[in-house]
Chain A
Amino acid sequence: MEEMATTPASMLSGGPGAGSELAIEKREQAMLELADFDEVVRVYRPRILRFLLSSLTDRDAAESLTQECFMKAWSARHQFRGDSSLSTWLTRIAVNLMRDHLRSRSLRFWQKTRGSSLDVMDISDWVPDGRGTPESLAVARDRVAAVWEAVKSLSAQQRTVFVLRFVEELELDEIATTIGMNLSTVKSHLYRALAIIRERMGGAK
């Protein structure tokens, strides 16, 4: 009863102000979350690093951009309006940083950029051993390696959409919001990415 007494009436009734109240509550929650930035880094760093590592396949670049992402988030934390979740906001910053990085890397074509790249062995070696026979383990490793190689061959946009969908497990509309594309473009990139990966995996089989 006490809880009901403290809850705004509009939220209980589900009236016209309920949506805005929810948005305010969500925003306040995001602001509260952002206030403890150490905790933000602790919770979201693996996710941002995973996205950048999957997209760039370069440890140094991924780590550097992850750090830069949190530095940017820290300096822009007062501009965060809470319109999207903190996770979406951070991922958007990471996507923008990655775009800038890829653009600058394409300009610095003479520079060696693959010094700390993830090897296919790093990925396929991880496949857990508890998969029955050694043959099935080898097959599983080959499949992961084939996906890895196929993902590397995707265009930057296809790879971003693919990673956000199949590694970060975002919904398509979340992907569209995060990378600032319309939904049909996201679907188109994802369709093409899957077609390429399927083709590559068929060839690897």
Chain B
Amino acid sequence: MKFRKDAVADNTANETREEVREMAEALSLYRSAMQHIAEREAARPFAPGVSQRMTERRPERRSRFSLLLAPALAAAVAAAVLVPMYGHFHHEHGATPAPVVANGQQHANDTHAAVDDTALMNQIDSEVSEDVPDALRPLADLSDQTTTTSSVSEKKNATQE
């Protein structure tokens, strides 16, 4: 009985030893394979694609940054230009009553001027309708004759037509 137990234990130990040996061999082969592959890969110069990617990484970040920055700057510039323009426009638009007032004022001025004109016309009219001074009487008579002659000749022409 004891002999059989020892035999089973020996078998188990042998199996374990064999398993460990196989695993050690597999690990050794794996190491050799990795060393071989790495040496083969390292024998090549640094891949240009990789180098390019490495050098492009930072510009890419820069371009990404500029992609974000450009619209922000554009918006800022647009705001800087448009806000004062809007303010100016708004100010102008808000100030439109001013011309109305000005027009009103102008109208008042015009009215005032019109009044002045009327007064002036009345004044002129009164002055014209005044009696001709004695010294100017002959001229006044001459003027009356001319007016009458011309009106008679006009009437004649009109009837002939």
Tell whether A and B belong to one assembly.
Answer: yes
Please report A residues at the B interface, Cβ cutoff 8 Å: 45-47, 49-50, 53-54, 59-60, 62-64, 67-68, 71, 118, 122-124, 126-127, 140, 143-144, 146-148, 151, 166-167, 169, 197-198, 201-202
Q: In the complex, which residue of chain B has the Cβ closest to the Cβ of A148?
A: B30
With contacts A124-B33, A126-B33, A127-B33 taken as known, whether A197 is within 8 angstroms of B39 at the C-beta atoms is: no
Question: DSSP majority for the A interface?
Answer: helix
Bound together, the chains give a CA A202 to CA B23 distance in angstroms of 9
B22 in contact (CB, < 8 A): yes
Given contacts A123-B30, A148-B30, contact A198 B42 (CB under 8 A): no
Contact between chains at A63 and B30 (CB < 8 Å) = no
In the complex, the answer to whether A54 meets B23 with C-beta atoms within 8 Å is no
CB 8 Å contact bits of B37-72 with A (1 = contact, 0 = none): 111011000110011011000000000000000000
Instruction: Tell me if A67 and B54 are in contact (CB < 8 A).
Output: yes
A-B pair count, CB < 8 Å, reads 82
B121 within 8 A of A: no
CA of A118 to CA of B33, assembled, Å: 12
Known: A46-B39, A50-B38. A166 touches B30 (CB 8 A): yes
- Alpha-carbon gap, A198 to B15, bound state (A): 13
Describe B's contact surface by its main secondary structure.
Answer: helix
Bound CA–CA A124/B30 (angstroms)? 8
Q: Given the complex of chains A and B, what is the CA–CA distance between A175 and B38 in angstroms?
A: 20
How far in angstroms is the closest Cβ of chain B from A79? 21
Given the complex of chains A and B, what is the CA–CA distance between A53 and B35 in angstroms? 10
Given A201-B26, A202-B19, are A50 and B33 neighbors across the interface (CB < 8 Å)? no
Q: Please, which residue of chain B has its CB at the minimum distance from the CB of A140?
A: B29
Interface residues of B (CB under 8 A from A): 19, 22-23, 25-27, 29-39, 41-42, 46-47, 50-51, 53-54
Q: Which residues of A contact B50 (CB under 8 A)?
A: 60, 63-64, 67
Q: How far is the CA of A146 from the CA of B53 in the complex (A)?
A: 34
**Nearest B residue (CB) for A54:** B34
Q: A53-B34, A123-B37 are known contacts; what are 10 more A-B pairs with Cβ within 8 Å?
A: A50-B37, A63-B41, A64-B54, A71-B54, A123-B33, A123-B34, A144-B29, A166-B27, A166-B30, A201-B23
Residue of B nearest to A143 (CB): B26
Q: Could you tell me if B29 and A143 are in contact, using CB atoms closer than 8 angstroms?
A: yes
- Chain B residue at minimum C-beta to C-beta distance from A139: B22
In the bound complex, CA of A169 to CA of B38 (Å): 15
Most buried by A among B35, B38, B47: B38
Q: Which residues of B contact A68 (CB under 8 A)?
A: 54
Please tell me which one of the listed residues B22, B23, B29, B41 contacts residue A127 in the complex, with CB atoms under 8 A apart.
B29
Query: Beyond A64-B53, A67-B50, A123-B34, is A46–B26 a contact (Cβ under 8 Å)?
Result: no
Contacts of A62 in B (CB 8 A): 41
What separation, in Å, do the CA atoms of A144 and B30 have in the docked complex? Answer: 5
Which chain A residues lie closer than 8 Å to B42 at the CB level? 45-46, 49-50
5 A-B pairs in the complex with CB atoms less than 8 angstroms apart: A46-B38, A53-B34, A63-B47, A126-B32, A201-B22
